[in-house]
Amino acid sequence: MKIAILSIGNELLSGDTINTNAGWIGRKLTEIGCDIFQQITVPDKKVPISNALNQLIDLNPDFIICTGGLGPTEDDITRQTLFDFAGTESKFDQDYWDALSVRFKRFGMDIPESNRNQALVPVDGDVIQNPVGSARGSKFNVKDTTLISLPGVPAEMKAMMTESIIPLIHQKGLKPKSFRTLRTTGIPESAMIEKITPATDKDHGCEIGYYPSLFGVDIRISHAESQPVDSLSKDLYRILDVSIYGEGKESIEEVIIQLAKNKNKTISTAESCTGGLIGHRLTEVSGSSDVYKGGLVVYSNESKMNMLGVEKDILEAHGAVSEETAESMARNVKNKFNTDYGISVTGIAGPTGGTDEKPVGLVYIGMAKKGRVKVKEFHFGTNRKRNKLRISHVALNWLRLSLLS
């Protein structure tokens, strides 16, 4: 099933709004076996919209899914442009206009005349109901392609995709693919691909996609049949081993919580530069209280000493960002919460605060377990938000590997 996505909106091109709709649609439809072969973004102008539609229709897709431009403002011209492209007249839906008027009155407002556009429907086409908003969508048949128009508001688009469009695609004879997504971390993309090339170069007939992120690389394997997917996945597990932490949408924190439950282990955290992010990520998992016993955010030297018992001599001799401080933090938090694992993080998240001796991005992560403490030194970049996310992930991955050992 070939699908094209047309995203419409000045705000998408200016960068004022990130185009999350196209990514969400692409992921959802790829998961059910569709081929998303092209995505175009155009402004709220008739000529670019029409040109993009002509370009896409010539490629003979099964569906073109358009998002955006269905609101009541003057720049929302998608509706009439699509009517013209599909060669249909419009008519005014008085019943819907009356229903919209009632909805506005519930909020103590009179409905603006500009909203009349949202009551226009195609003479030759179908209306797609919007269960969470006022901008309804449309469906047309143009040549051999089904043309879909949806609002750009993400919550509305998602509801309409889920309730109407995905079932319609299934009805059109979609042949589901078998696929698996292997989630990796702790190995650079280039090194990973070099390791797995002997397996991926085999004549297995699978489609393979690589999707890097801040935390690692997802490997997506798909085929019309499940056996080739399972066979190649087995090869990649053998090659990459613990670099694969999960599958599908499974997060590393979900994996950690389940591992800790299985092994009857408990965890505590002491965080400085990550400001509680590790604890936050762990507690995002339902049932984490079975294994995560608590954590402390000890940002200042005073809190490190008063709340966690880090020795003043250590801080004066080595500083807050040091191997010695990370070691003391990990040991003390493990003892304070009486857990099997104590994780500590101290560093310079940036973009300021660094020195020649201790530059921005310098981080120490400590782990206390079984009566001993180990500390690792890392060097990250200068972007504060990015650093905090990466530091928390590196700490979590080390915890995962320790639970596996």
Residue 131: what pLDDT? 95
Termini Cα distance of the chain: 44
Cis check: omega of the bond before 351, within 30 degrees of 0: yes
Backbone angles phi, psi at 383, to 5 degrees: -85, 115
Residue 72: what pLDDT? 79
> Which tokens go with 144?
């051999």
Nearest to 121 by CA among 159, 158, 149: 149
d(C-alpha 60, C-alpha 50), whole Å = 16
Residue 75: what pLDDT? 66
> What are the structural domains, with CATH classification, of the chain?
2-171 (3.40.980.10), 178-247 (3.30.70.2860), 252-404 (3.90.950.20)
Q: Is beta strand 2-8 parallel, antiparallel or unpaired with respect to 35-42?
A: parallel
> Which tokens go with 120?
């226009």
Q: DSSP string spanning 235-290?
A: HHHHHHGGGEEEETT--HHHHHHHHHHHHT--EEEEESTTTTHHHHHHHTSTTGGG
Residue 177: what pLDDT? 84
Could you say which DSSP state residue 98 is in?
Answer: H
Could you say which DSSP state residue 15 is in?
Answer: T
d(C-alpha 104, C-alpha 229), whole Å = 52
Q: What is the pLDDT along the chain (405 residues), one digit of tens a residue?
A: 999 999 999 999 999 999 999 999 999 998 888 999 999 999 999 999 999 999 999 999 999 999 998 887 766 788 999 999 999 999 999 999 999 999 899 989 999 988 888 899 999 999 999 999 889 999 999 999 999 999 999 999 999 999 999 999 999 888 878 999 999 999 999 999 999 999 999 999 999 999 999 999 999 999 989 999 999 999 999 999 999 999 999 999 999 999 999 999 999 999 999 999 999 999 999 999 999 999 999 999 999 999 999 999 999 999 999 999 999 999 999 999 999 999 999 999 999 999 999 999 999 999 999 989 999 999 999 999 999 999 999 999 999 999 999
